[in-house]
Amino acid sequence: MRAPYGSGPPGPAVLAVRGAALLLALVGIAHTLVHGLVEPGHALAFGVLVAAGELVRRGVGPGEREPAPLAAAGALAYALLGDSGGRPTTHGALQVVAVVVVAQALAAVPRVARGRGADADRAARRTLTAGFAAVCFQPLYASGQAERWFGDGPYFVLLPLAVLAATALCDALAAALLARSRARVEGTCAPPPYGSLLVDEVRALAGAGTAIGVTGAVMALGVAVAGLWALPVLCGPLLLTQVSAGRYAAVRTTRRQTIASLARATEIAGYTRPGHARRVAALATAVGRELGLTGPQLTVLEHAALMHDIGQLSLLDPVAGGATARLPADQQRRIALLGAAVVRRTGAGPAVAAVVEQQADPYREQLPAARIVRTVNAYDDLCGECVGGPLGALEQLRLGTGHDHQPQVVEALGRVLARGGLTPAGAG
C-alpha cells in the first residue's frame, strides 16, 4: 500500500524523466554507431554483466529500491572505468550510455515475451544514472585532470567515490520526483509531499545504495589493476547475494499477500465496510509520511492498519458499520487483544502486533504507529456515519484530543486531507 500508483497516464515529471533518458540513449547510440565501438571486449564484458543482472532481477516489494543490484553495480563500474590491466581506456561517456541501454533492452526481451512488461521508469533512471556518472568521470580521466588532482596513488579512489556520491544524490532526486508524480493514495488524499519522499530515498542510500555504489567502484578499480579477469571474481558474490535476496523478497511478498487477505476477511464477513482496511492503510501511510516516518516504520504502520480490525471476527454480532470507535472501552480493548493474538500467528512480527494491541489504549500510552491507526480508523468510521463530511469528522477527532487522539496526528491528518481536497474516506 505504500505510495500506491495510479493506473492513469504518466504525469509530466514521469514524461520528463523518460524523455531525458530517451534523448540521452539516442545520442549515445548514434555516437557509437558513427564512431564505432571502442574496445569491444570491455563493452561486451560490461554489457553482459548488466544484462545478466537484469535477467536475474527480483520482484519489487514494499520498500525495495533496487531489484537488480548486479546490473546497477556493473553500469556504474563501466562508467567509472579508467584503466584496464594498467592501460588507459578510451571508450568515453556516450559509449557507456549506449552499452547500458542496449544491455537493458536485450534483457527486457524475455520479460516482455513472458508478459511481465518492462519497467520504463527504472530503465530511464538506470540510463540517466550511468550517463551522469560517466559524464562526471570520463572527461576528467581522459583529459588527465583527474591524475593531476589526485595523482595515481591511493588518493585517486576519492574521485570515483565523489562521483558516486553525486550520482546517488541525483538518482534520489529523480526517484522522489517519479514517486511524487505517480503516487495516488486511493480515494483519500493527495500524493505524499516531495520532501518526505526525497528524505526516504536519501535514507535508503545508507543501505543497499551504498553497497551497490561501493561495489561498482571496487569493480572499476579491480579491472584497472587485473583487467577483465577481475569481473567474475568481484561480481560472483554479488550475484549469489542477489539470488538470495530475491528468495527473501518472495517470502516477504507472500507474507504481505497473506496479511492483505486476512484484512479482507472482516469485509467479506460483513464486520466492516467494503474497502475500510485498504482506505485506513493508505491514509495512515500518508499521515505517517507527514509525521516523518520512513522505511520499516511505514511497513509496520501499513500492516497494522490493514489488520487493525481482525479482532472483530471474535464478535457474535457485527458492529453497525464496523465502527469500533463508538464501542465501550472494554469491548474495544477485547477486540484489540484478540486481534493482536491473530496477528502474532500470521508472522507479521511483534511490532505489528503491538500496534494492533494498543488500539484501545489512551494515546499517551500508545506507540506512534498505534496513534496514527487509531485516529485514521476513527476518521473513516465517522465519515461512514455521515457526521458532516470530512470537516465534521475532523472536528469530532479534535474534540477527542484530550484522551483518544494525539493533537499532532489529527493536525497531520488534516494537512494530508487538505492537499487531497478533503475527499471523504468512504469515497471510491
C-alpha cell at 36: 564505432
Residue in the structure block whose three cell numbers are 533492452: 105
Which tens digits make up the pLDDT trace of 55-108? 877 554 444 556 678 888 899 999 999 888 889 999 999 999 999 999 999 988
Residues 6+ apart with CB under 8 A from 293: 301, 368, 369
302 to 99, 140, 232, 248, 427: CA distances (angstroms): 40, 46, 40, 20, 20
- pTM (two decimals): 0.70
Asked if residue 121 has pLDDT above 90, the reply is no
Asked if residue 22 has pLDDT above 60, the reply is yes
- How far apart, in whole angstroms, are the C-alpha atoms of residue 121 and residue 30? 22
Alpha carbon 417 to chain centroid, angstroms: 23
Element (H, E) at 87: strand 87-88
Which tens digits make up the pLDDT trace of 153-202? 777 888 888 999 899 888 888 888 887 776 643 444 556 677 777 877 88
- How far apart, in whole angstroms, are the C-alpha atoms of residue 289 and residue 285? 6
Q: Does domain 269-419 have CATH number 3.30.1490.190?
A: no
- Contact between 300 and 288 under an 8 Å Cβ cutoff? The reply is no
Domain range annotation of the chain: 12-252, 269-419
C-alpha cell at 135: 559524464
